[in-house]
Structure 1
Amino acid sequence: MKIANYDTDLTNAQWDCLQPMLAKPAKRGRPPKDRRRILNAILYLVKCGCPWRYLPADFPNWKTVYHVFRQWVANCQWAAIHDTLRVLVRRTHGKRSRPTAAILDSQSVKSDGHGGRVGYDAGKKIKGRKRHLLVDTLGLILGVTVTPASTTERDGAKLLLNKALRWFTWLRILWVDGGYTGQAFAQWVKTIRPKLTVEVVKRSDDVKGFKVLPRRWVVERTFGWLMRHRRLARDYETTESSAEAWIYIAMIRIQLRRLA
């Protein structure tokens, strides 16, 4: 097996798993670049969090890597690769490709000084963006939406579920926290998916200190996985589409490590 230059590099087994999912390069135009090296550079960036221009010289030129990253954001290829890997990971756990249960939550993160849209989360006292995640019972992402941090949980959830519920028609139960309480939100979900039930997992007022809450810990663990990638420890992206793509890339790395 080829010895990787960096711990983030794709192993041969991971590349063999990933390569069939990539779109075939165009026959016309310039000769295609080595996509394995480009992917290694992007995986290095998501884990280590350095700016594009500080990409080590043994990777392809940063402009080439950035061009591929933006191109794959525009054609939704990062999400497509991620979703294919999620199906494979679920199968290794004896799960069907389409889940029947999901957990919804959000996370506010501080933003760097970029020119993108940001907001202030008064509850968390954070100026930045909010990541809305829908995950399955394994903690694998079913959908993600990034908004300014001032967006409420319910409004962000509606943006996310409007997209996700088109694909996940088998969902029957959705676990949420107290931020999504209220008949209005539950009824709105029913208008999209009549068979989908919203169940609020609340923290008991009698419990003091830290306590693991049923079902809620799954999505909190996923946020923990993401925060171990330095590119995601703070919001550096000008556009929400790029911010969402980096979340998919981090999960691509996690899922590849499970598969190979």
Structure 2
Amino acid sequence: MGGRGDLTNAEWERLKPLLPPAGARGGRWSDHRTVINGVLYRARTGVPWRDLPERFGPWLTVYKRHRRWSADGTWAHLLAQVQAVQDAEGGIDWQVSVDSTTTRAHQHAAGARKTPPPAPCGKGGARRDKAGRSGVAELVRPPGGGGPAGECLGRSRGGLTTKIHLSADGRCRPLSLVLTPGQHGDSPQFQAVLEKISVPRLGPGRPRGRPDSVSADKAYSSRANRSYLRRRKIPHTIPEPPDQRDNRRRRGSAGGRPTGFDKERYKKRNVVERAINRLKNFRAVATRYDKRAYIYLGTVTVAALVIWLRT
């Protein structure tokens, strides 16, 4: 009998055709469903890998599968394929909102070797779509490679933190994910988050990456971000902070036209806040336990995948 957070039969039937073949590595893998349920259990509860219940099999098997699929982009590929099915059925609301959330890092998340971390891809490289993009999730590391900053760990008065930048559709589901150290600002990652939106087509055609509209709070208000949205012809609703408004008025005609603001559309921006709440219902997302950034990004992607399967 399955556990409370395990995949249901209906969810498994949706996910099963998208999984790698059982003999893809030259030998047979352990049962995919059992191992994936072990990964979900750990993401939901946040227990140490060694404390996984015996019904999931050897804990090392579950951990290595999660680590491999986090590195080679399999989790991001599965998320993109589930999104593709939803889009083909008209199930995605393309009124997109963007925001970020900071997660505290447990003391066990520190201490990774201070060497350049491995690129988030396996021997064959990360999975890429026809447009050359490598999935819906990305790490943004500062220069320097290894160390706490290289693993997307930022220092502040509250300790070590990691920031998750994401976009969400109108039904409170994450569309794209970007990971940075906790002290990184929101606005510089705005374009990266939108560029990671890549929903494949089930038939011919390039993946869809352009929302019908975008909403964000005033932290994302900048001339660069607005120019980027205008260049891609994406309608947007981003409030203008008072200091930017006053500076524009002081410059007169050189300051440009007033920014548009759709008050009713902005009221729906809470969908991204609700998507963040859904992600943080997974304790291994709300608190980072993984030393390596690419493994933590895989954990966040697994949580997003479950949200898509269950809504």
Query: For this structure pair, what is the TM-score category when the shorter chain's length is used for normalisation?
Result: 0.7 to 0.9
Please list, as runs of the form range in 1=range in 2, the aligned pairs for 1:31-110 lying within 5 A after superposition: 31-89=28-86, 94-95=90-91, 100-110=94-104
Which secondary structure state, in structure 2, belongs to the residue aligned with residue 24 of structure 1? coil
Please list, as runs of the form range in 1=range in 2, the aligned pairs for 1:82-231 lying within 5 A after superposition: 82-89=79-86, 94-95=90-91, 100-113=94-107, 114-115=110-111, 116-120=151-155, 127-164=160-197, 167-191=207-231, 193=232, 195-201=233-239, 214-231=267-284
Cα distance, 1:149 vs structure 2: 0.9
Cα distance, 1:168 vs structure 2: 3.5
Deviations 1:92-122 (A, max 9, x none): 6x446xx643111000111112233422468
Cα distance, 1:91 vs structure 2: 5.8
Change (3 A) 1:218 1:126: farther
**The one of 23, 35, 38 aligned to 1:26:** 23
Structure-1 separation of matches of 2:285 and 2:186? 20
Structure-1 separation of matches of 2:207 and 2:165? 17
Which secondary structure state, in structure 2, belongs to the residue aligned with residue 134 of structure 1? strand
Contact 2:42 2:52 in 1 (8 A): yes
Change (3 A) 1:12 1:217: same
Structure-1 separation of matches of 2:8 and 2:195? 37
Structure-2 separation of matches of 1:169 and 1:13? 28
Cα distance, 1:19 vs structure 2: 0.7
Change (3 A) 1:161 1:254: closer
Normalising by the residue count of structure 2, what TM-score does the alignment of the two structures yield? 0.69
Partner in structure 2 of residue 208 of structure 1? none
Q: How many residues align?
A: 240
Which secondary structure state, in structure 2, belongs to the residue aligned with residue 103 of structure 1? strand
Please list, as runs of the form range in 1=range in 2, the aligned pairs for 1:233-252 lying within 5 A after superposition: 233-252=286-305
Structure-2 separation of matches of 1:203 and 1:228? 32
Deviations 1:187-241 (A, max 9, x none): 23445x2x1233215799xxxxxxxx61221000001111111111212222332
Which secondary structure state, in structure 2, belongs to the residue aligned with residue 174 of structure 1? strand
| Runs of 4 or more above 6 Å deviation | none
Contact 1:9 1:40 in 2 (8 A): yes
Structure-1 separation of matches of 2:196 and 2:6? 32
Contact 1:129 1:146 in 2 (8 A): yes
Cα distance, 1:146 vs structure 2: 0.8
Structure-1 separation of matches of 2:164 and 2:24? 38
Give the partner amino acid of 1:34: D
Contact 1:134 1:143 in 2 (8 A): yes
Normalising by the residue count of structure 1, what TM-score does the alignment of the two structures yield? 0.82
Give the partner amino acid of 2:41: Y
Structure-2 separation of matches of 1:101 and 1:117? 29
Cα distance, 1:89 vs structure 2: 4.1
User: Max radius of gyration: which structure?
Assistant: 2
Contact 2:197 2:209 in 1 (8 A): no
Which secondary structure state, in structure 2, belongs to the residue aligned with residue 58 of structure 1? helix
Structure-2 separation of matches of 1:88 and 1:167? 12
Gapped regions of structure 1 (runs ≥ 5): 205-212
Cα distance, 1:83 vs structure 2: 2.0
Gapped regions of structure 2 (runs ≥ 5): 112-150, 199-205, 243-265
